[in-house]
């Protein structure tokens, strides 16, 4: 298995974003109530790690997304008392994690020597979450919050193989798509920059359930394990 490339330290990136948020100008005192509907867009540093494993051909590989991608979020806030904010939120992003692995092996099938060139690829195409957000107003214009809920990931597994036999060559391929369901947990700061606008920085970790894909030809079974860390910066409009 090839070791995944070391990512930029997400904790350091998150700390830098916190410092930048603290320098943003606030709106007029009391202008932002942190209540009602809102929707926004975010850019995020995607640290998704995906591992593909095809046991029947002893093939395994890991890859890290480590890319800046875009997404969006929407939700509804309710003020509970003077300083507490409770909300519901959904997020959506377009990850670019692609895990590719190749294995060439020599086998004996029905008494004949066969060279198999197997390739496996996992591609994450869509990620989202839905859950609760709990915040506390550390200042009238700054909300510190934690968030957690259900996470989902859309993924495609693709397999191809070429079989070199004494009497010639043949090939086969298959692909399947599936949804990984899991959980996510994170937190951050949101700051008002006007009566209707807020900006935020957030760190989140997502853990998705493992998935197995079973196809008609060898490699027949491909298992996928995916974990994600992300540092997000967003801008939203409050309706």
> What mean pLDDT do residues 82-89 have?
95
* Residue 191 belongs to a domain: yes
| CA 204 from centroid of its chain's CA atoms | 9
Closest CA to 228 of 90, 22, 69: 69
Cα dihedral 25/28/30/33 (nearest 10): -60
* Residue 69 belongs to a domain: yes
Name which residue leads in pLDDT, 20 or 129: 129
Name which residue leads in pLDDT, 156 or 28: 156
Instruction: Supply angle C-alpha 46, 48, 53, rounded to 5.
Output: 155
* Residue 72 belongs to a domain: yes
* Residue 107 belongs to a domain: no
Looking at the structure of the chain, the number of domains it has is 1
Q: How far apart are CA 13 and CA 81, in angstroms?
A: 33
CATH number at residue 194: 2.40.160.20
* Residue 233 belongs to a domain: yes
* Residue 104 belongs to a domain: no
Please name the helix (run of DSSP H) or strand (run of DSSP E) that holds residue 129, with its range, or none: strand 112-139
Instruction: Check residue 64 and give its pLDDT.
Output: 66
* Residue 172 belongs to a domain: no
The model's confidence at residue 2, banded by pLDDT at 50, 70 and 90, is: very low
Name which residue leads in pLDDT, 57 or 235: 235
Residue pLDDT, tens place only, 183-207: 999 999 999 988 889 999 999 999 9
The model's confidence at residue 90, banded by pLDDT at 50, 70 and 90, is: very high
Full residue range of the structural domain in which residue 71 is found: 10-95+129-153+177-211+222-238
pTM of the model: 0.76
Residue 194, token pair as written in the block: 């006007």
Instruction: Check residue 116 and give its pLDDT.
Output: 78
End-to-end CA separation in angstroms for the chain: 50
* Residue 188 belongs to a domain: yes
């Amino acid at each position: 298995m090839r070791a995944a490339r070391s990512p930029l330290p997400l904790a350091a990136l998150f700390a830098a974003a916190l410092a930048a948020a603290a320098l943003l100008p606030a709106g007029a005192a009391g202008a932002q109530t942190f209540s009602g509907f809102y929707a926004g867009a975010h850019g995020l540093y995607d640290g998704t790690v995906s591992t593909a494993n095809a046991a029947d051909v002893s093939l395994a590989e890991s890859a890290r997304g480590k890319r800046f991608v875009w997404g969006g979020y929407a939700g509804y806030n309710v003020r509970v008392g003077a300083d507490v904010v409770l909300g519901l939120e959904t997020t959506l992003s377009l990850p670019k994690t692609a895990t590719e692995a190749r294995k060439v092996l020599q086998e004996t099938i029905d008494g004949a020597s066969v060279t198999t060139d197997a390739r496996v690829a996992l591609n994450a195409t869509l990620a989202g979450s839905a859950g609760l957000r709990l915040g506390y107003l550390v200042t009238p214009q700054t909300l510190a919050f934690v968030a957690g809920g259900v996470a989902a990931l859309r993924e495609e597994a693709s397999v191809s193989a070429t079989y070199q036999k004494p009497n010639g060559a043949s090939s086969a391929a298959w692909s399947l798509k599936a949804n990984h369901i899991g959980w996510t947990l994170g937190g951050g700061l949101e700051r008002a920059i006007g009566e209707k606008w807020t900006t935020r920085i957030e760190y989140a970790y997502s853990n998705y359930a493992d998935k197995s894909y079973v196809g008609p030809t060898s490699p027949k079974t491909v298992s996928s394990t995916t974990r994600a860390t992300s540092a997000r910066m967003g801008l939203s409009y409050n309706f």
